[in-house]
Amino acid sequence: MTSIDSAPALGAAVRTARKRIGLTQSDLALAAGVGLRFIVDLEGGKTTVRLAQVLRVIDALGGSLELTGLDTTAKPAEEVRRGA
């Protein structure tokens, strides 16, 4: 598992995975249903990429996104605001 703490780290991880499986940026864009410019921006560490497209790219590479360190047993914020 790769720990990602910034947009450049995400871009580097995507680039490494893409190259490891032998895809060009164009191949990955086609497989993920995104534009080539998006792949270039993502791998370049652009901070304003769309999450839905990032998830499609990760899926096209055979990966998944996992969040750690979040307390999913806590009450949702709306319940806390209501005092539930």
**pLDDT over threshold 80, residue 79:** no
19: its two tokens: 């190259």
What's the pLDDT at 48? 96
Tally of CB atoms within 10 A around 44: 13
pLDDT tier, 74 (very low <50, low <70, confident <90, very high otherwise): low
CATH of domain 7-60: 1.10.260.40
Q: Can you tell me which residue has the tokens 């490494």?
A: 16
Question: CA 68 to CA 59: how far, in whole Å?
Answer: 19
Local structure of 18: helix, strand or coil:
helix
pLDDT tens readout for residues 13-72:
999 999 999 999 999 999 999 999 999 999 999 999 999 999 999 999 999 998 888 887
Q: Is 83 left (phi over 0), alpha (psi -120 to 50) or beta?
A: left
Q: Which amino acid belongs to residue 44?
A: G
Let me know how many helices (H) and strands (E) the chain has, helices first.
Answer: 5, 0
pLDDT tens readout for residues 43-56:
999 999 999 999 99
Domain boundaries, the chain: 7-60
